[in-house]
Amino acid sequence: MKVIQVKCPHCNNPIKMKQKDLLFYCDSCKTIHVRDGGINVIDYEIGDFGRNAPQGDRIYVPFWRLYCSFTIKNMKVEGGGLFKLSNWVKGGAGTGGDIFIFVPASDFDPATFKRLAIMLTTLPPRYNSRTDFNNVPRLPTTMSREEAAQMAHFVVITMEAEKPGTLQDLDYTLNVNDARAVYLPFLTSPQGLVLGI
Amino acid sequence: MPDLSIGLNCPACGGAVSVQEGEGVLNCQYCDSTLFIEGDKGVQTIAFKMKVTKESAIAAAQGWWKKGFKARDLKRTGKIIEVYPIYIPFWSTTARVAGWVCGYEERRHSDSKGNTRVERIPKEVMVLSDYRYSEIACDPGDLGIRTLRNFSGERSFADFEMIPTFETTTSKDVAAKDARSKAEEWGREQANVPHVTFERLYVVPHNMSIIYYPIWVVRYSYRERMYMNTVDGVTGTVLSGRAPGDPLFQSLAITFGSAAGGIVSGAGLLLAAFSEADQNGAYFAVGGFVIGGLLLFGTYRFFRRGSEIVEGEFSDKEGSAKTGLGDIKQISQTLSQIGGRYP
């Protein structure tokens, strides 16, 4: 066992963080890297807060945003006749496509995890990007990219299962084309985390 | 948090840092540098403090002697031979289980003419919960303990030098694989879909740790035979034990169980004979015969195994009257199913 000081692979400055985080953020050159078997610099985005977002309640929440190709080969649903009919009138429900799946990367309780994942995947947020956190605290990342790729399956099946009718079978393929860490602006409120865009 | 740590120096400022086993990242408390552990990080180790005294452990064991179908004179005749504390290691982790289980449930409906219709009810169940895994990390021998039931209590290594500790004999990799498979199985059980047509469950495990848990072992004798109890060293509850059964309970069980089984079987046959060309007669006959047979079987098992009462997670529960009671529970479940089919 050997203890080493974490230094940025880009500018070689030491990383100083107050929390235990899987993603190492360099305050000097704004690089994020991971150490999962090697030192890898990763792509990331930081979303900017809306103008009216109150200062004191701001927090950044890390997500893995997975750009995926999702294809449904076969699906069997019992019931949900009206929904099927309306899809048929609209020209078909579609059999998949390319989607962004947002997987919460911090340690959330199951209910919050599902709420955030489904909310952001169903309606991907539009935000202005910024290059730093502007001294806003951020939650630590506890989920690796590989684990997020597994949870992406859960997110797409949930989206299909929560449509009207009772899902009986789903044969699909889900390929993760790209994974990016995305820090989204949130506000802490008594009702839980609220998107602060 | 546990105090079992490795003392090292921060490579940036030279300040002393302590690394908990299993940790991958830490922050230097002096210079705020983020530090990374390279190489084998080991496993996080936790030890619970022994909170139960020897006297309380004996009292708990003696309280257990009085419950259930154990020998009625056990409290009077049983003699404590030895009482000693041990630390037992357990693998422990939590894992998030996420996925969906879809399928259907079948319900049978019978009309007054005896026609049976099977209704198929589609089901889709989401599984999204955290599963807590624990499994003993050594050979438990005849202790009757396999999993950890309590996860809260004061954590300290203060007693570690004083109390004998079982060596860990199973590997982290084996435990991690077992945790994953048990988490999946648990998720499937949570979903409770009788006929599965589609299932996708994903398990994301967190860090594996070793928990050293204090146990009191209470050995006692009864009519020149040796028995034992284990008592939780944190909560004071009895975890496992063996005790002599009572011949009176065995005799009563075989007498009344056989009688009840015979009566139910006979009554079923009689009802079938006297029901006039009614199709329900066949149901009475078969139902009565099956119920009677099950009662006899349960009675026999209780009689055969009632000489020793065994409670706990023993790999071989031969001689357990509790198993006999389990059989009776199973019988009652079977009966309720039969009742559902033959209303």
**Cα separation of A147 and A105, whole Å?**
9
List of chain A residues whose C-beta atoms are within 8 Å of the C-beta of residue B11: 3-5
- The pTM for the full model equals 0.74
Q: CB-based contact (8 Å) between B141 and chain A?
A: no
A3 with B35: Cβ contact below 8 A: yes
Read off the pLDDT of residues A30-51 as tens digits, 9 standing for 90 and up: 999 998 878 999 999 999 998 8
- Among B27, B38, B43, B195, the residue to mutate for chain A (most A Cβ within 10 A): B27
Q: Do B34 and A76 touch (CB under 8 A)?
A: no
pLDDT tens for each residue of A62-111: 999 999 999 888 888 888 666 666 665 655 555 668 899 999 999 999 99
Closest CA of chain B from A52, distance in Å: 33
How far the first Cα of chain A sits from its last, in Å, is: 44
The reply to whether residue A4 touches residue B128, judged by beta carbons under 8 angstroms, is no
Kindly give the parts of chain B with pLDDT less than 50.
Answer: 1-4, 319-328, 330-331, 334-343
- Contact call for A16 and B33, based on CB within 8 A: yes
Give the pLDDT score at A90.
Answer: 58
Tens digits of residue pLDDT in A104-158:
999 999 999 999 999 999 999 999 999 899 989 999 999 999 999 999 999 999 9
Give residue limits of the domains in chain B. 5-42, 54-242, 247-341
pLDDT band at residue A178 under the 50/70/90 scheme: very high
Residues of A with Cβ-Cβ distance to B36 under 8 angstroms? 3-6, 35
| The 3-state secondary structure of A117-186, one letter per residue | HHHHHHCCCCCCEECCCCCCCECCCCCCHHHHHHHHHHHHHHHHHCCCCEEEEEEEEEEEEEEEEEEEEE
**Distance between CA atoms of B275 and B256, rounded to whole angstroms?**
28
What's the pLDDT tens digit per position in B13-38? 888 887 766 677 888 888 888 988 87
Instruction: Name chain B contacts of A4, Cβ cutoff 8 Å.
Output: 11, 35-36, 38
CA distance B27 to B19: 10
